[in-house]
Amino acid sequence: MSHKLSKIVKEIGIDFHGDDVDIDGIHTLSEASLGQLSFLSSDRYAHDLPHTNAAAVILSSKYLNLVPKGTVALLTDEPYLKLALATRLFRYSPSIEIAIPKKGNNCSIAENVTFGKNVVLGDNVTIMAGCYVGDYTMIDSGTIIYPNVSIYHHTLIGQRCIIHAGVVIGADGYGYAHRSDGRHTKIHQNGNVSLGDSVEIGANSTIDRAVFGTTTIGAGTKIDNLVQVAHNCELGENCLLVCQTALAGSTRLGDNVTMGGQSGAIGHLQIGSHATIASRSGVTKSLAGGKIYGGFPAVEHTVWLRMQAKLQSLIKKRKD
């Protein structure tokens, strides 16, 4: 799907002066290709602007001097809202069309499983009753999907995965731009979800699709029941997420990260490989790998224990 830049700016309400080009999608400044639109709404990502390959960028005038040659600057006082309006033009329109998937050998599929169009299954795939598998989804060999799982369009699932009952993969991430009058404008989630080989997902967990790009679950990662993985998260290989863990958007975990029950991360941060986050801890900034963290905000576990001991000592002294 592509649109002329002149059509896009008309739809979102920005004045446009320059060469009219075809735009085939939207992506971040660092990932955008020559035929894509991008945006800048935060100083945090301003360093990516001079190096972007985007054909056009939605941004405020204070960043104009950073726009590279050949990139069209689309100036506005509301870049995030204009981005939200632009995503609507590239949204995928799901259909209710029911189709027969392309199946490998020895697949076991319950009678009441519903498939969208262009679904591909590998060998020895098992899908139990009540599941829905959306358009253009690919499920590799040896994967088993338990009852009442919903898999949205364009999802990629690796070999030997286990997906337990009630899981939802590929629902929209929670993204909105806020208007000055208090209304909220949906940012359409135009990416997808990819699961590596040997991933296991516990019952009633949810993995949201990316805004653009891919929400990624690395090979060998095991996710417990009632876990939320938000849009554009990237989980490395062999991570362990225990029950009721929640990751906000664009959280990145290295390999072999363990997160205890009811722990969480605020998003747009990194947790290094082989880190352990204790139960009920809240991660509010990026953390180095190879260490154990606890508390809220999460700090090294030994520091947290000392803080608790000091607190108990103060309480005891006050009582005395």
DSSP calls for 140-166: -TT-EE-TT-EE-TT-EE-TT-EE-TT
Cβ(300)–Cβ(292) below 8 Å: yes
Q: Which stretches of 244-300 are DSSP H helices? A: none
Strand, coil or helix: 129? coil
Beta-carbon contacts of residue 21 (< 8 Å; ≥ 6 apart): 4, 5, 35, 55, 56, 72
Q: Which residue is catalytic, options 153, 154, 164, 231?
A: 231
CA-nearest of 215, 219, 239 to 140 is 219
φ and ψ of 293, to 5 deg: -125, 155
DSSP, res 1: -
Q: In the block, which residue shows the tokens 């002149």?
A: 6
153 is catalytic: no
**What's the token pair of residue 244?**
């009721």
Strand, coil or helix: 43? helix
**What positions carry a catalytic annotation?**
231
